[in-house]
């Protein structure tokens, strides 16, 4: 320790010690530089040494992705990166164009919908560790992710960056990601706080949401990321709530996040999400990024001094209009963030594109794939007797890591579905390919180009005819389509126009089904899609945007190397009107008001209330084996108010192959005084079972899990009475239930 101090002192040089004034002892290290001192003591020490100008300087960007430190004190800059699926390539200092580095290619991890579909907290930890190591290696301090906005409508262009429709699932999945990233001395920046549930009019719409819905549905995952994950930064959203932009929102930032939840980190604005100096000062924003100072359309060069939290703030401080107390609170938060990340000399070194990261990407991608349908056991395909397999569809050959907005990546390597299938089938089966349809051929985002030539001159009908001809002369057909990351197809800044598949894919699939009954449809998307052909295809897989290893992961599942165990993190409605927001006309792309009329009835909560049968239910996902459930048992059927409830069930692998099952626990309040959902997810556990093996799964239900939010009292309420614990394989496949009473 003594040696460390002297090394630090000599490294930092004399300037620090001469200019700092009080608190400095010759030949010793100032408190703020001493990593053995308590964080708050370091923060106070650094704060006491900073001039007014230095304090304001750390509160806004100095480039597209960095903010200034305090060079005089040896306090470094903060560097941010997108997030949330890989480390974004470097852009120029003051432009969005590529910096042209040759060492900034990364591993793309699967989209967060895929991670959520694993329903496996261990996978979330694996993900966080790997992406955190990549961020650290690239010397980033803040990873702009993960995103946990709730899946309210299947039209939201950014659903693929989030963790589904259920607050409990998203909460459990976000925590390990946050913890593991931050072990690398890299902060997460949980986004977009909050109520950012559509892209249309994302800078304009005011979310009108009742308090109960806010607290029960839209806030829990953020709360878990902050309180259980210990997130060091949070990103404000673009839209408004209570008439105020969410990057400077009194109620949510000062009231809920910093007040109720005790968040001690920094609130970072979304890029261009700051609109007003006075509000930015008083309403909880700490660091301003990406402001478009010539209005809201684009950036003029080097305008950082004109940012709302730059010169205008300084002027307000100098004139006495703004208080130094509020300023110091912001600076403390930024200092904490810097000490935890950029100035942490004890963090590991990280690594980039390591075999372990590719292995993690592949494991998560394959574990997230959901087997939606498997009639006639068309899957897995046995390669040794497969003969000739026709692969049809643009998504089989299209690189998906480029596009989609700020989560777009420059990968070192991406295995497309066709490449994965070819590699797996080599020497075993014949693979033939046809395009089937033409979707997006651009293959570029923000200066990164895939280099793929996807040009195609055949007509729509010719493409279908050629695909059908190939399908008829093959033993099995794998259609690989879905959405892509071009505008209006799972992409930032635009929503989808409808639930249907684009580019006449429905027509292609139906034609293929007629040509060959052994048809498997693979969807690559981050959203639910309509499937008018669902009855015609033997097998249907949802494979998400799988990242660098998407092709290998898909092949693992198609050919049975991996037994699928993913479960849907959101409902696939049969039609758009079966979704609450759409049923009530509460998604209006023309309006500046988004009234969340469906309230707490999001996803399966709505489907169950209305008793509509979804196409595929929340939590649904099949396996190549069968699982049998025993009777759910409650240790004590009558429980005193405030005590935990324990629910156990035996689950057996009754099939012939090893597999993993996600055992799901839902709770319904049988006689509530308020309107409550039929049931809500309150527990899940992924277990691995060999054929014939049985495991007992035990869930602990805490009193908090049984509560509802009482808007008039402004708090959570646990009502005594009878509850039912439903245990099953999906929200629509409940195998056993047991009642218990809270006294």
Fill in the per-residue mask, 499 to 518: x = in contact with ligand BGC (CB under 6 A), - = not in contact: --------------------
DSSP state of 135: H
Nearer to ligand BGC, 66 or 395 (CB): 66
Smallest gap from residue 288 Cβ to ligand BGC (A):
13
Question: Which is it for strands 78-81 and 66-67: parallel, antiparallel or unpaired?
Answer: antiparallel
Residue closer to ligand BGC (CB basis): 83 or 176: 83
Query: For residues 505 and 489, what is the distance between their CA atoms, to the nearest angstrom?
Result: 13
Task: Kindly report the length of the chain.
Answer: 743
**Helix pair angle (505-515, 460-472), 10° resolution:** 30
Q: Does 271 bind ligand BGC (CB under 6 A)?
A: yes
The distance of closest approach from Cβ of residue 187 to ligand BGC in the complex, given in angstroms and rounded to an integer, is 13
Residue 83 CB, nearest approach to ligand BGC (Å): 6
SS (H, E, C) 334-362: HHHHHHHCCCCCCCCCCCCCCHHHHHHHH
- Residue showing tokens 């005590």: 643
Helix, strand, coil percentages for the chain (3-state, nearest 5): 30, 20, 50
Handedness of CA 189, 195, 197, 200 (dihedral sign): negative
What six digits make up the tokens of 232?
């060091």
In whole angstroms, the minimum distance from the beta carbon of 15 to ligand BGC comes to 34
Q: Compute the radius of gyration of the chain from its Cα atoms.
A: 26
Between 84 and 164, name the residue whose CB sits nearer to ligand BGC: 84
CB-CB neighbours of 560 under 10 Å? 15
Distance CA(606)–CA(601), nearest Å, equals 4
CB within 8 A of 739, min separation 6: which ones? Answer: 634, 637, 670, 722, 723, 724, 725
Report the site for ligand BGC in 290-309 (rule: CB under 6 A). none
With the C-alpha atoms ordered 172, 173, 174, 176, is the resulting torsion angle positive or negative?
positive
Comparing CB distances to ligand BGC, the nearer of 203 and 707 is 203
Q: Rounded to the nearest whole angstrom, what is the least distance from the CB of residue 380 to ligand BGC in the complex?
A: 37
Instruction: For the CB of residue 148, give the shortest distance to ligand BGC in the complex, in Å.
Output: 12
Cβ(284)–Cβ(249) below 8 Å: yes
Q: Which is nearer to ligand BGC, 272 or 668 (CB)?
A: 272
Please select the residue that binds ligand BGC; options are 30, 69, 83, 482, rule is CB under 6 A: 83
Contacting residue, 406, 416, 484, 548, with ligand BGC by CB under 6 A:
406
Q: CA 280 to CA 297: how far, in whole Å?
A: 20
Q: Tell me how many residues contact ligand BGC (CB under 6 A).
A: 7
String of contacts with ligand BGC for each residue 140-169, x by CB under 6 A: ----x-------------------------
CA separation for the pair 275, 614 (Å, rounded)? 41
Closer CB to ligand BGC, 303 or 736, in the complex: 303
Provide the minimum distance between the beta carbon of 82 and ligand BGC in the complex, in angstroms, as a whole number. Answer: 5
Please say if 495 is a catalytic residue.
no
Q: Strand, helix or coil at 35?
A: coil
How far apart CA 723 and CA 704 sit, in angstroms, is: 14
HSE-up of residue 497 (Cα within 13 Å, Cβ side): 6
- In the complex with ligand BGC, the residue whose CB is nearer, 61 or 555, is 61
Which 424-453 positions form the footprint of ligand BGC (CB under 6 A)?
A: none
Rounded to a whole number of angstroms, the minimum distance from the CB of residue 679 to ligand BGC is: 33
- Provide, rounded to whole angstroms, the least separation between the CB of residue 163 and ligand BGC: 15
Residue placing its CB nearer to ligand BGC in the complex, 216 or 492:
492
Beta bridge partners of 206: 240, 593
Residues whose CB is less than 8 angstroms from the CB of residue 190 and which lie 6 or more positions away in sequence, other chains included: 145, 146, 147, 148, 174, 178, 222, 225, 226, 229, 231, 233, 234, 235
Task: Tell me which H or E stretch contains 689.
Answer: strand 680-689
Instruction: Give me 123's structure tokens.
Output: 């996978």
Exposed / middle / buried, residue 684 (Cβ in 10 Å: 0-12, 13-18, 19+): buried
Given 206, 270, 440, 669, which residue is catalytic? Answer: 270
89 or 420, CB closer to ligand BGC? 89
- Show the tokens assigned to 395: 């998504």
CB of 444 to ligand BGC, least distance (A): 17
Q: Among residues 553, 549, 498, which one has the least CA distance to residue 522?
A: 553
The residue among 235 and 524 lying less far from ligand BGC, judged by its C-beta, is 235
Contact between 92 and 98 under an 8 Å Cβ cutoff? The reply is yes
* Residues at the interface with ligand BGC (CB under 6 A): 82-83, 144, 191, 270-271, 406
> Could you list the active site residues?
270
């Amino acid at each position: 320790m003594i040696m460390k101090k002297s090394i630090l002192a000599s490294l930092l040089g004399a300037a620090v010690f001469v200019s700092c004034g009080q608190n400095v002892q010759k030949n010793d290290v100032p408190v703020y530089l001493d990593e053995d001192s308590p964080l708050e003591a370091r923060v106070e020490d650094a704060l006491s040494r900073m001039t007014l100008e230095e304090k304001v300087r750390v509160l806004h960007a100095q480039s597209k992705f960095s903010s200034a430190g305090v060079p005089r004190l040896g306090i470094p800059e903060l560097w941010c990166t997108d997030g949330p699926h890989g480390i974004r390539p470097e852009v120029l200092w003051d432009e969005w164009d590529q910096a042209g580095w040759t060492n900034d290619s990364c591993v793309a991890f699967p989209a967060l919908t895929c991670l959520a579909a694993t329903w496996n907290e261990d996978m979330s930890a694996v993900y966080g560790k790997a992406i955190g190591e990549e961020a650290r290696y690239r010397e980033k301090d803040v990873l702009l992710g993960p995103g946990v906005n709730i899946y309210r409508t299947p039209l939201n262009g950014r659903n693929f960056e989030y963790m589904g429709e259920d607050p409990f699932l998203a909460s459990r999945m976000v925590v390990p990601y946050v913890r593991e990233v931050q072990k690398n001395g890299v902060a997460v920046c949980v986004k977009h706080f909050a109520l950012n549930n559509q892209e249309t009019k994302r800078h304009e719409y005011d979310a009108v949401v009742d308090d109960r819905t806010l607290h029960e549905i839209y806030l829990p995952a953020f709360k878990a990321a902050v309180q259980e994950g210990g997130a060091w930064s949070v990103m404000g959203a673009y839209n408004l709530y209570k008439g105020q932009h969410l990057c400077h929102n009194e109620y949510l930032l000062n009231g809920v996040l910093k007040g109720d939840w005790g968040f001690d980190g920094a609130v970072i604005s979304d890029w261009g999400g700051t609109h007003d100096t006075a509000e930015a000062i008083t309403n909880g924003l700490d660091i301003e990024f990406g402001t478009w100072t010539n209005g809201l359309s684009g950036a003029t060069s080097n305008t950082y001094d004109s940012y709302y939290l730059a010169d205008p703030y300084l002027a307000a401080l100098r004139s006495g209009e703004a208080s130094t107390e509020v300023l110091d609170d912001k600076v403390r938060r930024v200092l904490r963030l810097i000490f935890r990340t950029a100035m942490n000399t004890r963090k590991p070194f990280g690594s980039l594109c390591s075999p372990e990261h590719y292995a993690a990407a592949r494991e998560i991608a394959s574990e997230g794939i959901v087997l939606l349908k498997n009639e006639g056991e068309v899957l897995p395909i046995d390669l040794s007797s497969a003969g000739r397999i026709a692969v049809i569809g643009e998504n089989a050959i299209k690189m998906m890591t480029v596009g989609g907005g700020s989560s777009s990546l420059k990968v070192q390597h991406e295995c497309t579905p066709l490449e994965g299938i070819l590699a797996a089938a080599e020497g075993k089966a014949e693979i033939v390919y046809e395009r089937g349809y033409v979707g997006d051929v651009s293959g570029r985002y923000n200066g990164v180009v895939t280099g793929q030539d996807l040009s195609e001159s055949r007509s729509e009908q010719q493409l279908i005819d050629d695909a059908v001809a190939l399908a008829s002369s093959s033993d099995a057909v794998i259609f690989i389509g879905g959405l892509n990351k071009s505008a209006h197809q799972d992409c930032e800044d635009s929503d989808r126009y409808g639930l249907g598949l684009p580019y006449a894919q429905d027509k292609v699939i139906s034609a293929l089904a007629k040509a060959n009954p052994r048809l498997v449809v693979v969807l690559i998307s981050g959203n639910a899609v309509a499937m008018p052909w669902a009855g015609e295809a033997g097998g249907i897989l949802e494979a998400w945007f799988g990242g660098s290893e998407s092709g290998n992961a898909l092949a693992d599942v198609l050919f049975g190397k991996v037994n699928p165990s993913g479960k849907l993190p959101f409902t696939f409605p049969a039609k758009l009107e079966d979704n609450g927001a759409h049923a009530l006309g509460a998604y209006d792309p023309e309006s500046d008001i988004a009234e969340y009329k469906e309230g707490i009835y999001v996803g399966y909560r709505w489907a169950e209330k209305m008793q509509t049968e979804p196409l595929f239910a929340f939590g649904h996902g099949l396996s190549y084996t069968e699982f049998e459930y025993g009777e759910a048992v409650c240790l004590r059927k009558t429980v005193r108010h405030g005590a935990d409830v324990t629910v156990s069930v035996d689950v057996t692998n009754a099939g012939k192959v090893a597999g993993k099952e996600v055992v799901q626990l839902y709770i319904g309040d049988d006689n509530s005084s308020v309107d409550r959902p039929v049931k809500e997810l309150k527990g899940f556990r992924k277990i691995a079972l060999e054929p014939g093996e049985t495991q007992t799964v035990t869930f602990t239900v805490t009193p908090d899990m049984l509560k509802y939010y009482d808007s008039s009292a402004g708090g959570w309420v646990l009502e005594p009475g009878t509850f039912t614990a439903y245990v099953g394989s999906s929200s629509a496949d409940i195998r056993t239930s047991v009642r218990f009473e809270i006294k």
